[in-house]
Amino acid sequence: MADRRQGAPTPTTDSAVVSERWDGQDLSGRTFRRVAFLDVDLTDAVARGATFEECSFRGCDLSPVDPVATSLGDAVVDLDQAVALVRALGLRAEEAVPMEV
């Protein structure tokens, strides 16, 4: 995995899910801890009440994940995934513009 900004180490994972199709699967109530998800197809997956603790996601579409109903504690996502989660919260991400005081 790519190095993280500010020299933070990549989180240690105990297992990996690589290039699997989980599209349409019901992950509700399941718990994943310290799992690296790499290029996993989560299209139309249902993750309501799922827990992803200390997981990392690379090349996964997180747009079906409801960040309110899904625990993503200490998860690592890339910028595109972060934007998808922000949109799921009904927010808008914009480039920082200095504020005048």
Q: HSE (CB half, 13 Å, CA atoms) of 52? A: 23
Cα–Cα distance for residue pair 86/91, rounded to 1 Å:
5
The model's pLDDT over 57-88, given as tens digits with 9 standing for 90+, comes to 999 988 778 889 999 999 999 888 888 889 88
Helix (H/G/I), strand (E/B), else coil: 80: helix
Predicted confidence band at 6 (pLDDT cuts at 50, 70, 90)? low
**pLDDT top residue among 41 and 101:** 41
Mean of all residue pLDDT scores within the chain: 86
Across the range 45-52, mean pLDDT stands at 92
Go through the domains of the chain in sequence order and give each one's CATH number. 11-88 (2.160.20.80)
Helix (H/G/I), strand (E/B), else coil: 81: helix
Across the range 26-54, mean pLDDT stands at 93
Helix (H) or strand (E) holding 88: helix 79-88
**Helix spans in the chain (H):** 79-88
